[in-house]
Structure formats: C-alpha cells, structure tokens
Amino acid sequence: MDKFLTFTIVGLSLAAIYAVIASGLVLTYTTTGIFTFAHGAAGMLAAFAYWQLRFDWGWPVPVCLVVILGMMAPLFGMLLEVVVMRGLRGTTDTVKLVVSISLLLFMIGLAQLIWAPGVSRPMSKFFASSPTIHLGPTTITWHQAITIGVAIVVGIALRFGLTRFRVGLAMRAAVDDPSLSALNGARPNRVSMVAWALGTVLAAIGGILIAPNVTLDAPSLSLLIVSAYAAAIFGRLRSLPLTLLGAIVVGLTDGYLTGYLPQNQYLIGLRIASPAVLLFLVLLVLPNPRLRGRMTRSREFFPMPSVRGALTFAGVVVLGGVVLMTTLSTPDQLTYGRIFPIGIVALSLVPLVGFGGQISLCQLSFAGIGGLVMAHLGHGGDPLALVWAVLIAAAVGALIALPALRLSGIYLALGTAAFATILDRWIFTLPKFAVFGWFTVDLFTQGSIGVDPLRAFGTKFDDPGSQIVIGAVAFALVSLFVIAIRRGRLGRRLIAMKDSEAACATLGMNLLGTKLLVFAISAGVAGLGGALYATQLTTIQAGNFDLVSSLQVFALAVVGGIGAVGGALFAGISLYAVLPLIGVLFPSIVQWVGLLPGATGIGLGRDPNGAVHPMREGFAPLAGSPSSLLVMALALAALYGLRLADAIDNWTFVIGLFVIPLIATAVATLSAATRQRVLAQLESSPDRTPLEWIGIDRPWTDADVERLDRELGTTSVLASELELHGTP
Amino acid sequence: MALLEVSGVTVRFGGNVALDDVEFAAEPGLVTGLIGPNGAGKTTLFNVITGLLPPSHGQVRLDGRSLTRLSPTKRARLGMARTFQRLELFSLLSVRENIWVAADVRKGWSHDRDDPATVVERIVEQVGLTAVADARVDSLPTGQCRLVELGRCLATKPKVLLLDEPASGQDENETVVFAELLRALAADGMAVVLVEHDVHLVMKVCAQVHVLDFGRIIASGTPSEIQHDEAVLSAYLGTNS
Amino acid sequence: MTQPVTMPPPTVNLLEFRNVHAAYDRIDVLFGIDLAVPSGSVVALLGPNGAGKTTTLRVAAGLHPVSSGDVLIAGRRVNGTAPEELARRGLCLIPEGRGIFPNLTVRENLRMMTYAGVSLSAVEEEAYRRFPRLKERRRQLAGTLSGGEQQMLAMARGLATRPALLLLDELSMGLAPIIVEELYEIVAQVAREGVSILVVEQFASTVLGVADLAAVLVHGKVAKVGTPAELADDLSKAYLGA
C-alpha cells in the first residue's frame, strides 16, 4: 500500500507537470489554430534559463521566477506571435508544421549555442533540503507537493482568467467563432498575442518543474513534451478538463510503471516510451474523422518533370559524386558523403508528402530499420541485404501506416512522431530477444553495431570515396524512380488524393490502398537510404536515427521543395555540405551553425514550392541556349581537369563550380533577352520611326500627330480634323 | 422501383435537425430537381447519398440495394457520382489529367477494356473542354471548372449523377449549352439529380422537382405545379399563410 | 480608442457600395454592386439563394475582401479595414444564423460587446430592458438558449453598442413568425432612433412596413430598387421563375 501511494504521488506530480504544459498547448491551439511542436522547446529554454539564474549565478528563487515567468517567457511568447505565428494564418497544415518544427530545431540550436551540450548542469529540487512531509503511511517531498500545488493553482488561475478577464473571454470566443469575435470589436492580433504569452509561460512553468527530475539536455527535454502532447490529445487538443484527465493517465502510467514494472531489461524502455505508446493508442481510438474537402487552398506549383530533365538531373548527381570522390580528402569524403544517403531519406518524403500530402516524422526510423538490416544481413557486404533493407523497411512502413491511415494532418504528424519515439527509446534499446523461438534478434548489440562495407562485382567498397559514388548512383536511381512515380498513374492519383480526398472517394478510388502503397514505398526508400548510410558510418547506434534527425530532414526537404527531387538533394546538401562548409569558412561563427536548419525552416518554410523551384526557374534560360550549355560544360570539364592536375586547390574549384554556371546562365538570359527585344522592336517598329520619317513611308495617322505634338511640345490638331476643315 | 431511393433520411448535428425524414427518388432517363432556400439541407442530402456523412436514420438505395453501410468508394463503384458545390478539383493537374484520374480509377477495379486515354478524349469533347484540355484547372474560370467536375463524374460511367449547383459561375450562354448537355445525359439513361439556384434552369430541364425547406421535403411535383404550390411560395417568399 | 462615426448630414449616404466585386476563391459572387444606404434610413436587400446578399454584408463589415470597387462608410473609403476596427467605429453586423458564442454565458456574451466601447453596465441595462428574458438566463450558456432567445442575444449587440450603422443578416431565419415580428418591431424602434440599417432578407413580406427602400439582388447584381411592396412581384419571378 505504501508503495502504491508512493508511486501514485510520483505519478501525480508528473501528471501535474504534463497538465500545465498541455494546457498551454491546448490554449494556443484552440485560440490560434496553430499546433506548435516548439511548445516543449519553450519549456526547455525556460529550464536552462532558470538553471543559469538560480544555480550558475545564484540569484534568489523568487527573483528567478519573476524574471523568467513574469518577463522572459511572456515576452518570448509575444515575440513568437508577432514574428512567426501571425504569418501562418490561412496556410496549410504542412506549412504550419514545418515552421513549428523548424522553430523547435532553432530553439534547440539556441540552447546548445548558449549552454554547450555535454556539460553537467545539476538542478536541485525545490526545498530539497527540507524534510519530506508525512502523509499517512507515505511521504511526499516538498518538490512533489509544490508541483501538484502549482498545477492546481494554474488550473484555478486559468479558469478565473478565462471567465473573468475580457481578454480571456475573447480567447474562448475566438474558439467558438473568430470572425464573430472580430465583429464584436476584439482585436484578433492582441488576443492571439496574449494566448502565446500565456502558453509560453505555462510551458516555462512545466519546464522549470520537470528539469530537476531529468538531465538538463536540450533535445531530450524538448521532446519530453511528447508526454504533454499525449495528454492534450486526450482532450482532442480542445478540451482543458479532458486534457487534465489525460495528464493524470499519462502521469500515473509513468509512475506505476516505475514502481511495478518487473526489473526486466526488455521493459525499461517501455516506461520511457510509455507516453508515446499512450499517444499512439489514443490517436487510434479517436473517432474517425469525416472525409472533407480541402480546407485551405495551397498555392503549390509542382511542374511535371520532363524525361530529359530527369536524366540530366541524375547525370549531374552521379558526376557530382565522382567529382567529390576525386577532389576531396578522406576526412572530407566522410563528411560530404552523407549528402546522398540522407538525400535518399529526404527523397522518400517526396512521394509521401509532396505528392500524396501525407505527413511522416519517422523517416529516420525507417532508415534505422534499413541500417539494422544491413548490419545483420549484410555480412561480408552482401548487396542482397540492400534489397532486404528496402523490403523490411517497406513492410514495417505498411504496418505503421495501417493504423496511422485514419489520421491526417497534425494527428498523423503526432502519430508518426510517437512511433519514432517508441522506436528510438524502446525498440532500438532492446537487448537480444527471440522472435517466437524462430530466431534471435540483437538489434544494437552493445548500443552500437558494426556494418560491413558493400561488396559487389568482386570489389569491396570500403573507402569513403567509392561509397560516395555508390551513394550518388543510388540517389540518382531513386530520383528517377520518384520522377517515374510522378509521371505515372500512382503520381497522379497521389496528387489527386492530396487535393481532395472527398472527390477521390466519390470517384471510387481506394484511398486506404493508395495510402498504404505510398507509405510502403516511402519507408522502403528510406530503408535503402538508411542501409547506405549505415555502410558509410561503419558502426551505427540508435542515436543516428532519432526523432530530431527525422525532424531536420523533414523540415529541410520541405524548405527545399517537397514536390520535387531537387528538394531532397537540397536537404542532403544543406545538412552535410553547406553546414560543414560554413563551419570551415567562418570558424568564428561555427557555433551558430546549429541555428541554421531551424532558421531556414522558419524563414523559407512558408513557400510551399520550396527553395529549389526559383533556382530551377533561374537556370531555365540555359536549357534554351545550347551554345551556352556547351561552353559551360567545356569550362566545367576544364576546371575539373585543372583540379585533378592539382593546378588549382579545392577553394578555387568550388568557386569556379558556382561562378561558371552563373556566368553561363547570365549569358543565356541576356542573349534571350536581346533576342526578345529585337523581336519586340521589329514588331513595334512604326512607333520607333524617327520623327522626320513619319508620314513618308505611310500615311499620317492621329497617333503620329499626337506623337509629334508630344515630342515637339506643340498643341494637338488631329489629322482627321485637318482633313475635315481643310486648313488649320 | 426507382433507381435511386432515399427514404426516411434524418441527420442531426447536435440539437439541430439538418434533414428530417427526407423521402425522394430519382428515375433513370430523367433530371430530378432539388431546390430550396439556403441552409435547407440540399448539400447535406448529397453527402448522405454519397456516403460522406452517415445519416442518423434512414436508407439510401440504389437499384433496390441498400447503400447505407457502404463507404463512398463502394458507392461510387456501384454507379454513384457527384460534383461539389465548393469545387473539389485536383488543382495541380490539367483538365485532361483530372478526367484521366477518374477513368484510370474505374479501369483499375472494373472489367472495362476501354483505354482511359480514349475515354478522356471522348469526355473532353462531350463537355466542350477541348480548347483548354491541357490547361491546369486552377487557371480556368469557375464555369469551366464545373464542367471538369462533370467530366470527371462521367469518366466513372455513373448510373446516378448528383450535381451540386453545376451552373453557378456559368454565364447565360454556358448555361444554355449546359442545359442541353444535361438533357443528353439523361437521355443516355442516367438518373440526374440537380441541386441548383438557377431556378430557370431547373424549371427548364427537370421532369420532377422536390423542394426542401428546413430539412424537410415540402413539395414535389412537375415544375409548373411547384411554381404554384402554396407551401413553396410561403417558404420562398415568406407569405404567412 | 478610435472615434465613433460622426453622424453625417441627412442627405449623405452612410453606407455606399460602388461597383463592388467579390469572390470566394475563384468563384465570383458579386458582380458590381451599386447600392446606397442613406443616413437614417432602413434599406432591405432581398433576393434568392446564392445571389450574394450575405457576401454584400460581409464585405461591408470588413470580413470579406473586395476584388474591385469601393465600399464607403460616411463618405470614407473603408476597403481593407479590419472588421474589429469597423466594429469599434460604430458598425455592427449581426450575422446570419447564430450571432452568439454558444460556449460563453449570456453575460459573457454581453461582455464581449463592450469591445465596441460601451460599459458592461450600459450593455446589460440596455439588453435586459429590451429583452427581459435574457436577464433571467444571464448565467446560462448561450448555446442552451432557444433559437429566438439566441437571436435576441445577437440582436442585443445591435442595440446596446449604439452603432451608427446596423447590418442584419436574415434575422428571421429558422424562427417562428411571432418571434420574427417581435424582432422587427425592435428593428423599427431602433430605426426611429436614427440608426441606419441594411437588412438582408429572403422574404419581402417580413420587411414590409419596416424598410424605406428595398433592392433585389440577383446573380451578384442589384436588379431593381424600389419600395418593398413594389418589389414583391419581381421577387417571386426571381425566386421561382413564374
């Protein structure tokens, strides 16, 4: 009984924290319609700030609390609203998701910039030195008591604020009917600013309360929020009382698992993953949403890729791989080589998200499965293991898709995020286990597992250079595959489905089958990327395939342009070429690099067509000018020759690689423009006739007279009038 | 027995009754009109018939077979097609591709040997969109978008065609052509159900008209009967009888 | 806060549409509306379903953008002004159906009205004076009121916030004739106090005796302007083609 009470209290104090955080989430979501993945990160930043003020600088507790909860958190919330959230009204779910995920990444980057990771930052609990309170047969620490007390106070204060203050009423009114609220005269911007400020304060309270129980680590603290998300889902992101109930369920589950879970190495991870498991389960029992037409019209424009363009793209990618192999030193090859396997993982998102409009935040988990298959079945570099990697990842993808299919938008995002969490916190940490006595599986043997390099055609590809080329070839082939999907039946079906599921269903399309197929294809492609990634890494661990990495790839692929293969390459290049390059070029700002993926996502995530689209438009004139194209190819080949002969170094080479295509494009654009102008001149030549020639080669018109008057500054007498009256 | 039969359909949203014991039928070869003031429940009725919205009570039958428990997809495959008042086009695809998707879906499950490409060309011509066949649908004016939706329905070879305000956004000339098209489709043996605000069009092409008001059918009859029905006049004009 | 609209001289149009076009997505709804509400008068906007009546009101209240043309209030161009700013300057739109917040209590609904610049006590006094039933139900959630009571609560905003311009969208929708009569009795009272009113109705008969002028809207255009009685025949033609 004592034990039961003890763990009830443990569970309730967790529940209290989740309730506080989740109510902030519900508040911002209902009043502004934006579900923010960065909510937990706000709590994380507050926890770090509290550590800084309280434990590093030794300020007194009340001062710290006033500064953080009274000033920093609300200001930060308002800043978020003004800078980021306000611009998201009326955008699609995907855009909102990408921006809030980018915000999460940015805030993690910010925390790691200010507070270097890997340093131990202990935080003591509130009144840690005071004796525990005796409560009948059990005891409760002051920290637990305060946590529960704070949650109760927050609950009462929220209730009070939402019923007694006019702005609180306006927040609830906005949930009922935002436009009617405006008709009453409530300013929506102000209301949502208050909502974000309040939401951020709630996240901050939760962050400060939870931090002493766990290690102060930016990514894990930010994602601890999955637990709060689970609580909020109980209330379908709308109801505060049900959210409270959800928080209690999630908290108590965690508490009782801590107390009663058999001391079994297989189940340790289950406790850590339990909120994600609950989140997944709750998503599954939510009532089936009705099929609806589109809510927000997107302004996407994904042109149909041409066969020639596809082949050119694939060729350039392979050439790029060869160039990287021949010009880079081995350590550099190790860094830049990841462009392609991660690029393939990003490619896996193109049919799924770009064409089909489904969302998945667990592509790296599928990649992890591919990597594991490679490690276990690819002994001696058996290429057949790649096939297995694809098939097994695809099978798992389909399995996951099956329950996830009835979800869409934000719920699908949360479901896949929960799956990623379950995998990386529990499944990937499992020790050796037997599957129905058939065979034993030992996923990540000692936390990490070695992967043999590929062997094919009697050659062992164990050097990073040849692995780059293999990656590039694989990327090129998968790109062609994805383009073939786009050009074929499946692609059109997916695009149709993305535009209107209601229309597809009423035309007789099997939506479930189509979604299942695209999920399986996507997971298979991600599995291939993961397998190749694993051979490059040579040893892999669960951490290579975690949720945060998935989020990064997702955000950057969308920023690059999720509807085209170029967007995937953009994601790979951004992560494994641009970021390291910036670090090398500008060592002074190397620590800022961590902010970049998030910052680009926040800045560019709003253009549904992605960053690659305008780039391709910019280079379009090249295609129409064979001469420029030829000269460019020759110049690039010469440059490459010079580099191979060591006549120039890599820097000159890279600069040349950028400058030559730009010059060629500029020349092509100019010549096209000149041609156009000449044509235009020919067409409008009458107007260009010199003044003295007017009326000589053809009869006078009224327009000619007007022009003459205009240019000579005389008063107008029209030609027609001249004829009428004879003499002026 | 009518091809499409709706009997006793009731839909409640919370405390509001959107449809109240609606009965109506559509015969093959005829255009059946469904009119009524705003919010009378016309689109809701279409959603119930096509399976997008489960009714609280009532039955929908096609060829005597109850559809009530079938998904929208299954119903479509049994011969039900509809257009949408709010236009649910595949905006990233061209006119041809929009219709092609529908034809391809049909080919996927049916035993038709028809090549989707041929079907598409025939339909594009039938609905009069040849000139814009390769244009992306989001560049077209509304009137033509309505025709694309109609073409998409035709590609599924429907028995019952439900049209939700197909003439809104069409100009007068387009409406005249459209009326001819509707008659031709009905003459081919389809049961066409027309929800339309353009009462002139309804009166011109419909054999039978049902009037929906506050979720109830308040009158059924030929166009001229409807035009002189007291209940209809009071629903539309508010004359307190 | 912003100044309320000052009452212009009586000959001036308080609300004026000049060749207003509007569209939903790409579906055009208004094709050049020209309409004026002279100061202190009641104008009824009649017409069949889908003619664009509600859109016309939404455009005037700033809820829906104008694709081209101008909306003028008291002679000033207000295209693109946010609805909350117009509301604070004395425009009041009572939308069709439910003009209330169902999950707020009656009193909380009344409190939302104070954004228009009137004190809560003044709002309550006025609302309870006109609709004593609301006082009995002030602690009740507005969503649990009867249809008529909900419409009274919605209407209370048009009275208690003392607007200069009142826009009413289908007050009668879904209500028993006796309640409709009651509501229009109040509209007439408000009109006598000098408030300019634009009222949208499907039923010409409902606004007989209340409206000074009526306009028939067909296919997004004003087809005819006259007194409500003059227009009754045109209406039945527009509705039923008879």
Q: Is the pLDDT of residue A94 over 90?
A: no
Q: Which chains touch A (3 or more CB pairs under 8 A)?
A: B, C
Long-range contacts of A213-217 (CB under 8 A, 24+ apart): A213/A125, A215/A120, A216/A47, A216/A48, A216/A51, A216/A115, A216/A121, A216/A122, A216/A123, A217/A117
- Residues B36 and B103 both lie in one domain: no
Percent of chain A whose pLDDT exceeds 70? 90
Cα dihedral sign, A617-A621-A626-A628 = negative
Q: Is the pLDDT of residue A727 over 50?
A: no
How close, in Å, is residue C51 to chain A by CA atoms? 22
Residue of B nearest to A505 (CA): B73
Percent of chain C whose pLDDT exceeds 90? 45
Question: For residue A447, what is the DSSP state?
Answer: S
- Residues B48 and B164 both lie in one domain: yes
CA C232 to chain centre: 21
Residue of B nearest to C29 (CA): B169
- Residues B67 and B114 both lie in one domain: no
Residue A215 pLDDT: 83
Q: Is the pLDDT of residue B198 over 70?
A: yes
Measured CA angle at A577 (ends A576, A579), to 5 deg? 80
- Residues A672 and A712 both lie in one domain: no
Q: Rounded to the nearest 5°, which phi and psi values hold at A675?
A: -55, -45
Q: Which residues of A234-269 are buried (b: 16+ CB within 10 A; e: fewer)?
A: bbebeebebbbbbbbbbbbbbbbbeeeeeeeeeebb
- Residues A489 and A466 both lie in one domain: yes
Residue of C nearest to A163 (CA): C108
pLDDT in tens, C72-115: 998 889 988 999 999 999 999 999 877 899 889 999 999 999 99
Helix (H, G, I), strand (E, B) or coil at B65: strand
Round to whole Å and give the CA distance between A583 and C218: 66
Q: What is the number of structural domains in chain B? A: 2
How close, in Å, is residue A167 to chain C by CA atoms? 9
Give residues with Cβ within 8 angstroms of A505, minimum separation 6: A291, A511, B51, B52, B71, B72, B73, B76
Rounded to the nearest integer, the mean pLDDT of chain B is 89
Residue A725 pLDDT: 45
User: Structural domain of residue A695, as residue ranges?
Assistant: 687-725
Give the β-pairing of B160-164 and A138-140.
unpaired
- Residues A219 and A91 both lie in one domain: yes
What angle in degrees, to the nearest 10, is found between the helix axes of A363-377 and A384-404?
Answer: 150
Q: Which of residues 132-191 of B touch C (CB under 8 A)?
A: 138, 141-142, 145, 165, 168-169
Between chains, do A503 and B88 touch, taking CB under 8 Å as contact? yes
Round to whole Å and give the CA distance between C197 and C199: 6
Q: Is the pLDDT of residue C2 over 70?
A: no
- Residues B233 and B212 both lie in one domain: yes
Picking from B157, B178, B198, the residue at the C-terminal end of a domain is: B157
In a domain, A636, yes or no: yes
Tally of CA atoms within 13 A in the half-sphere of A346 that contains its CB: 35
Q: Is the pLDDT of residue A688 over 60?
A: no
- Residues A172 and A152 both lie in one domain: yes
CB-based contact A479:A503 (threshold 8 Å): no
B233 touches chain C (CB under 8 A): yes
How close, in Å, is residue C142 to chain B by CA atoms? 14
Percent of chain A whose pLDDT exceeds 90? 39
Q: Which residues of A470-505 are buried (b: 16+ CB within 10 A; e: fewer)?
A: bbbbbbbebbbebbebbeeebbbbbbbbbbbbbbbb
CA A323 to chain centre: 30
- Residues B74 and B162 both lie in one domain: yes
Between chains, do A302 and B92 touch, taking CB under 8 Å as contact? yes
Helix (H, G, I), strand (E, B) or coil at A167: helix
In a domain, A296, yes or no: no
CB-based contact A282:A246 (threshold 8 Å): yes
Helix (H, G, I), strand (E, B) or coil at C46: strand
In a domain, A562, yes or no: yes
Q: Tell me the CATH number for domain C13-90+164-240.
A: 3.40.50.300
- Residues B103 and B209 both lie in one domain: no
User: Structural domain of residue B140, as residue ranges?
Assistant: 86-157
Q: What is the number of structural domains in chain A? A: 4
Picking from B157, B180, B196, the residue at the C-terminal end of a domain is: B157
pLDDT confidence of A349, banded at 50, 70, 90? very high
List the structure tokens of A655: 């600069």
Q: What are the distances in angstroms from CA A512 to CA A417, A494, A628? A: 21, 12, 48
Residues in chain B closer than 8 A to C26 (CB atoms): 138, 141-142, 145
pLDDT in tens, B152-179: 999 999 999 999 999 887 878 888 999 9
Ranges of beta strands (E only) in A436-563 are 439-441, 448-450, 455-456, 459-460, 539-541
pLDDT confidence of A427, banded at 50, 70, 90? confident
Residue B237 pLDDT: 57
In a domain, A234, yes or no: yes
Between chains, do A507 and B93 touch, taking CB under 8 Å as contact? no
Residues in chain C closer than 8 A to B203 (CB atoms): 240-241
- Residues A413 and A507 both lie in one domain: yes
Picking from A578, A606, A634, the residue at the C-terminal end of a domain is: A606
- Residues B196 and B145 both lie in one domain: no
How close, in Å, is residue A186 to chain C by CA atoms? 6
Q: What is the DSSP string of C116-183?
A: GS--HHHHHHHHHHH-HHHHHTTTSBGGGS-HHHHHHHHHHHHHHT--SEEEEE-TTTT--HHHHHHH
| Domain CATH code at residue A336 | 1.10.3470
- Residues A578 and A705 both lie in one domain: no
Give the β-pairing of B31-35 and B208-213.
parallel
pLDDT in tens, B49-70: 999 999 999 999 999 999 988 9
Residue A536: what residue type? Answer: Q
Rounded to the nearest integer, the mean pLDDT of chain C is 85
Closest listed residue to residue B34, CA positions, set B168, B204, B210:
B210
- Residues B233 and B120 both lie in one domain: no
Q: Which of residues 497-556 of A touch B (CB under 8 A)?
A: 498-500, 502-511
Q: Is the pLDDT of residue A690 over 80?
A: no
Q: List residues of chain A with CB under 8 Å from any CB of chain C.
A: 163, 166, 169-170, 172-173, 175-177, 179-188, 297
- Residues B126 and B167 both lie in one domain: no
Round to whole Å and give the CA distance between B11 and A369: 47
Between chains, do A183 and C115 touch, taking CB under 8 Å as contact? no
Q: Which residue has the tokens 């569209």?
A: C23
Q: Which of B33-37, C68-72, C126-130 has the lowest mean pLDDT?
A: B33-37
Give residues with Cβ within 8 angstroms of A509, minimum separation 6: A493, A496, A497, B73, B76, B101, B105
B13 touches chain A (CB under 8 A): no
Between chains, do C49 and B141 touch, taking CB under 8 Å as contact? no
List the structure tokens of A138: 């059990």
Between chains, do B73 and A302 touch, taking CB under 8 Å as contact? no
How close, in Å, is residue A164 to chain C by CA atoms? 9
- Residues B48 and B22 both lie in one domain: yes
Picking from B157, B175, B196, the residue at the C-terminal end of a domain is: B157
Round to whole Å and give the CA distance between A624 and A305: 16
Intra-chain end-to-end CA distance of chain B, in Å:
36
C90 touches chain A (CB under 8 A): no
Give the β-pairing of B57-62 and B4-13.
antiparallel
- Residues A660 and A721 both lie in one domain: no
Between chains, do A499 and B84 touch, taking CB under 8 Å as contact? no
Longest dimension (CA), chain B: 59
- Residues A367 and A479 both lie in one domain: yes
pLDDT in tens, C150-163: 888 999 999 999 89
Count residue pairs from B and C with Cβ separation < 8 A. 65
How close, in Å, is residue A490 to chain B by CA atoms? 10
Residue B134 class from Cβ within 10 Å (0-12 exposed, 13-18 middle, 19+ buried)?
exposed
Closest listed residue to residue B27, CA positions, set B72, B78, B63:
B63
Q: Which residues of C93-123 are buried (b: 16+ CB within 10 A; e: fewer)?
A: bbbbbbbbbeebbbbbbbbbbbbbbeeeeeb
Between chains, do B142 and C27 touch, taking CB under 8 Å as contact? yes
Test mutation, A183, A193, A294, A298, chain C, max C CBs within 10 A: A183
| Domain CATH code at residue B234 | 3.40.50.300
Test mutation, C1, C26, C55, C84, chain A, max A CBs within 10 A: C84
Test mutation, B236, B239, B241, chain C, max C CBs within 10 A: B236
- Residues A672 and A696 both lie in one domain: no
Between chains, do B72 and A505 touch, taking CB under 8 Å as contact? yes
- Residues B214 and B142 both lie in one domain: no
Q: What is the DSSP string of A261-311?
A: S-S-TTTHHHHHHHHHHHHHHHHHHSPPPPP---SS------PPPPHHHHH
- Residues A130 and A230 both lie in one domain: yes
Closest listed residue to residue B81, CA positions, set B153, B166, B4:
B153
Q: Which chains touch C (3 or more CB pairs under 8 A)?
A: A, B
Domain extent listing, chain C: 13-90+164-240, 102-162
Q: Is the pLDDT of residue A666 over 60?
A: yes
pLDDT confidence of A723, banded at 50, 70, 90? very low
pLDDT confidence of B32, banded at 50, 70, 90? very high
A486 touches chain B (CB under 8 A): no
Q: Which residue has the higher pLDDT, A446 or C207?
A: C207
- Residues B176 and B236 both lie in one domain: yes
Kindly report the length of chain C.
Answer: 242
Between chains, do A503 and B84 touch, taking CB under 8 Å as contact? yes
Long-range contacts of A699-707 (CB under 8 A, 24+ apart): none
Q: Which residue has the tokens 């460019």?
A: A632
- Residues A78 and A179 both lie in one domain: yes
- Residues A209 and A122 both lie in one domain: yes
